[in-house]
Structures are given as C-alpha cells and as structure tokens.
C-alpha cells in the first residue's frame, strides 16, 4: 500500500531574511555563505534569479519576496465556508450528502462563480477526490452516506420540542 503524501511545509523564511541574504550576495559574498544565515540555499537562489535585474533591493515589495501558496487554489475562503455551511446544513435537515454528491456540488459552485477549474473537473462534471480529501482536512467535515429517516422521525423533533427539552433540563 502506498504511503500517504506528506504535506508540503510552508516556508518560515521572512522577507527581511531573504532581503538580507540578497544584499550579501550583491556585496560579493557567495550564495552558499549567504544561505548559512537563516535562508535555505534553494530559496535564496530562486529569489536571486528572480530579482537579478532589479536595480535596487529597496524597491522590492515584501510580497515579492514571500511565497504565494494561494495561486493554485480553486475556491476562495468565502466560497469554502459557504460550501462547508451548505454541507452541514444539509446534514442537519436529515439530508446528508455523499462524497460524490458533495463533489458535484463543488463543481457546480465553481461553474456558477466562473472560477478557473481543472480539465478533469470539466470531463467528469465533479470535483476531484483529492480536492475533497483536502477540503475535509481543512474544514473538519465528515461526509457519509446518509441513512434513511422517516418523515415521522424528522418532524417529531422540531424546534418547539427542543425548547421544551431545554426548559426541562434547566429544572
């Protein structure tokens, strides 16, 4: 059985450290020596080649020296909270969604909002399994096959009975 993928670690290097390392390189120090000062060599090298043509480091914005992990995200934070609320709302109404149904809902949400989606989503008309797995990790949601619930059971536990039971517990 294959090993699960390990999560990619978010860089802990600040833009000040990167700028300091770039200054050392521009002053004639080698990349290896400059990378000994709290900046990984590969990070320093990547930022050096990216900023090589800029005349001064002072003109660079901090956002140009920090990693951008939100590039490949499909949904914004608001869209994801909307989907999370929708999935929990459906579960509270005794109509939980299966994994496939939730993937279809995510695809439809992306299409309605005109978001850039992968080609595989277009072909299958649903979100991918990996998207759902990472969505579950981010939002602590479980999606299981819903059990059958009779109409009598669903209507028996309504808001007025909930209030009554809360009052009884207070006594």
Q: What residue spans define the domains of the chain?
A: 15-65, 77-158
In this prediction the pTM is 0.57
63: Cα separation from own chain's centroid = 20
pLDDT at residue 67, as a whole number? 64
Per-block average pLDDT, block size 10, for the chain (171 residues)?
A: 71 82 89 87 88 76 66 87 91 82 94 92 94 89 74 68 76 71
Which are the contacts of 140, defined by CB distance < 8 A and separation ≥ 6?
none
pLDDT at residue 48, as a whole number? 87
Torsion of Cα atoms, 115 then 100 then 145 then 2, to 10°: -100
Q: How far apart are CA 104 and CA 140, in angstroms?
A: 19
Alpha helices in the chain (DSSP H): 15-26, 31-35, 41-50, 77-92, 99-112, 119-124, 129-139, 151-156, 159-170
């Amino acid at each position: 059985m294959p090993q699960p993928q390990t999560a990619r670690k978010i860089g802990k290097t600040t833009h000040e450290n990167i700028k300091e390392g770039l200054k050392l390189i521009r002053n004639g120090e080698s990349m290896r020596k400059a990378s000994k000062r709290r900046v990984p060599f590969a990070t320093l090298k990547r930022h050096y080649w990216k900023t090589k043509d800029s005349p001064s480091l002072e003109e660079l914005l901090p956002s140009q020296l920090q990693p951008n992990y939100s590039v490949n995200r499909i949904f914004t934070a608001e869209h994801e909270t909307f989907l999370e609320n929708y999935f929990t709302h459906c579960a509270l109404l005794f109509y939980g969604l299966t994994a496939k149904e939730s993937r279809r809902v995510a695809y439809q949400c992306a299409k309605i909002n005109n978001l850039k989606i992968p080609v595989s989503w277009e072909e299958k008309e649903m979100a991918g399994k990996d998207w759902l797995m990472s969505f579950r990790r981010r939002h602590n949601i479980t999606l299981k096959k819903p059990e059958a619930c009779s109409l009598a059971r669903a209507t028996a536990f309504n808001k007025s009975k909930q209030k009554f039971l809360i009052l009884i517990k207070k006594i």
